[in-house]
Amino acid sequence: MSQICIVGTGYVGLVAGSCFADLGNDVVCLDIDKSKIDGLNAGEIPIFEPGLEDLVRRNRHAGRLVFTSSYQRAIPPADFVFIAVDTASGPGGEASLSSVEAAAKRIAANLDGRTIIVDKSTVPVGTGDLVSSIIRQHRGDDVDFHIVSNPEFLSEGSAVADFLQPDRIVLGSENPSAARDVASLYRSFTSPIIITDLRTAEMIKYASNAFLATRVSFINEIASMCERLGADVTEVSRGMGLDKRIGEGYLSAGVGWGGSCFRKDVLALEHMAAVNGCHPQLLRAVMEINRDMRRSVIRKLREQLGGLRGFRVAVLGVSFKPNTDDVRDAPAIEIIRLLLGEGADVVAYDPVALPNAANEVKGLKTATDPYGAVEGADAVFIATEWNEFNEIDWERAGAAMRRKFILDGRNLYNHEELESCGFEYIGVGQGRNPSPISEFAAVNAAS
Ligand code: UGA
């Protein structure tokens, strides 16, 4: 078993650290945020992630998982040092490398004996070389180290399972034996392992996230067409996804993608492309379509209600997707801001993410359950497809509303069921009122 240090106790670091400990390794999780470390040492998990709390508790108890803010303590005994710090977007969309650079300097100062430094954060192509040069600058040839890129592909909400059963493990290094050493940490996994060079591994991560975002933007563009042309995007997705060459994932139309990764990574890739003389036109369209999906919610609400000022909108779900309390770049948050900006009165409900939402939107009105949120509302907007929203009794909810109108941003419900309870129902990409044939003919003739 190995001695592992994980630098950074965010989503990726904490999940990776506790999973490596569960596989039997001795893991030290290191973070410069002392209050976070104190919390973790007191058994407090800073994020909501199914299964994580148990995993941390079990491995701390077994003495395989410890938390510290001391580089001097954590780095020297480690065989592997994973860098899992944040890489937020800079002003031009570029990934900010300040946390990675700071970590590399402090790792350099404390290296002792052969160490493999593994980049797990999503970092721009070339960052592995940068980390290597920072370490050489600070230690000269006095240290024995190798750099490996091992991007993480876990999704929030299913992070522990994704870490332990990944579709693939990607390892990039200029030193194949170092890459094989990292591969040995995953020896109990059955997933395919790709060993490649450093820059290719770094690019695989960006290309994967950008492709997933592209698929969602693609189906959202098709959804907008379906609304005009009288087709149903859910059936279109199903019909496309059954083609093995296409596959069914990431083809659910909705209010656009969000979260801490897609926007940051698409922007960073676009920036990398642009500064290196490429023309990233597809990535730009992917971003624009996503922005328009959020705006289309405002348009639909305005059209249906005949304005927004003074109308009460209940927003159900504020996290960027279900099973997480993360509201970073959540469509709901931007839509709530737009609604408030237009003078609407908003009341939000979410099973776990309301405290984070209230930090983002000062003075946000919230309710403790969906029924409280819809009280006196003129419209309900479903922003996140939490499972518990399937249990809502819409007869009861509708009775408390001023107007029974539901805008279903995730196509969670069957329109017939809602309409039978007296609701006006609008989903995404459900072309139930297409432009009349005569208009099609006129438009086609004109073009
Ligand atoms: C994403 C990737 O899926 C992970 O593989 C990657 O490791 C992670 O980013 C990262 O780079 O750290 P995550 O941000 O947790 O994971 O979110 P996803 O589950 O991919 O969902 C992203 C957004 O797309 C959500 O807002 C979701 O609602 C939306 N989405 C997804 C759709 O609107 N339609 C779909 O069909 C799928």
Annotate 175-235 with DSSP letters as a single string: -HHHHHHHHHTTTT--S-EEEE-HHHHHHHHHHHHHHHHHHHHHHHHHHHHHHHHT-BHHH
User: Mean per-residue pLDDT for 110-136?
Assistant: 96
Taking only Cα atoms into account, the Rg of the chain, rounded to an integer number of angstroms, comes to 24
Q: Measuring from each residue's beta carbon to the nearest atom of ligand 1, which residues come in under 6 Å?
A: 122, 152-156, 209, 212, 216, 250-252, 254, 257-259, 261-262, 320-321
Interval 46-96: pLDDT, tens: 998 999 999 999 999 999 999 999 999 999 999 999 999 999 898 899 999
Interval 312-347: pLDDT, tens: 999 999 999 999 999 999 999 999 999 999 999 999
Residue 446 confidence class, pLDDT cut points 50, 70, 90 = low
d(CA 305, CA 272): 43
Q: Which amino acid, residue 299?
A: R
pLDDT at 439 over 80: no
CB distance 373 to 406 below 8 Å: no
Interval 180-192: pLDDT, tens: 999 999 999 999 9
Q: To the nearest whole number, what is the mean pLDDT of the chain? A: 95
User: Mean per-residue pLDDT for 397-413?
Assistant: 98
Ligand 1 atom 29 nearest Cα = 257
**How high is the pLDDT of residue 443?**
65
Of 434 and 420, the one with more pLDDT: 420
pLDDT at 441 over 90: no
**How high is the pLDDT of residue 101?**
96
d(CA 82, CA 407): 44
CA of 78 to the centre of ligand 1 (A): 32
Ligand 1 atom 8 nearest Cα = 155
Catalytic site residue from 226, 261, 278, 421: 261
Ligand 1 atom 9 nearest Cα = 261
Ligand 1 atom 28 nearest Cα = 321
pLDDT at 436 over 80: no
Residue 132 confidence class, pLDDT cut points 50, 70, 90 = very high
- Residue 261 a catalytic site member: yes
CA of 259 to the centre of ligand 1 (A): 7
* Ligand 1 atom at minimum distance from 260 CA: 14
d(CA 257, CA 430): 19
CA of 271 to the centre of ligand 1 (A): 21
d(CA 403, CA 419): 13
User: Mean per-residue pLDDT for 299-303?
Assistant: 97
**How high is the pLDDT of residue 433?**
73
Residue 440 confidence class, pLDDT cut points 50, 70, 90 = low
User: Mean per-residue pLDDT for 202-223?
Assistant: 98
Interval 366-400: pLDDT, tens: 999 999 999 999 999 999 999 999 999 999 999 99
CA of 419 to the centre of ligand 1 (A): 31
* Ligand 1 atom at minimum distance from 252 CA: 36
Ligand 1 atom 37 nearest Cα = 250
Among left, alpha and beta (phi > 0; psi -120 to 50; other), residue 421 is: alpha
Is the pTM value of this prediction over 0.85?
yes
Ligand 1 atom 17 nearest Cα = 155
Interval 226-267: pLDDT, tens: 999 999 999 999 999 999 999 999 999 999 999 999 999 999
User: Mean per-residue pLDDT for 409-417?
Assistant: 97
pLDDT at 442 over 70: no
**How high is the pLDDT of residue 178?**
97
Task: Tell me which residue of 362, 355, 403, 414 sits closest to 380, measured CA to CA.
Answer: 403
Place of tokens 């039978």: 420
Place of tokens 């020896």: 187
* Ligand 1 atom at minimum distance from 385 CA: 28
Place of tokens 């580089």: 71
Query: Which mutation among 321, 325, 328 tests ligand 1's pocket best, with the greatest number of atoms within 8 A of CB?
Result: 321
CA of 375 to the centre of ligand 1 (A): 32
- Burial (CB count <10 Å: 0-12, 13-18, 19+), residue 436: exposed
User: Mean per-residue pLDDT for 359-371?
Assistant: 97
Query: Which mutation among 85, 162, 216 tests ligand 1's pocket best, with the greatest number of atoms within 8 A of CB?
Result: 216
CA of 214 to the centre of ligand 1 (A): 11
pLDDT at 444 over 70: no
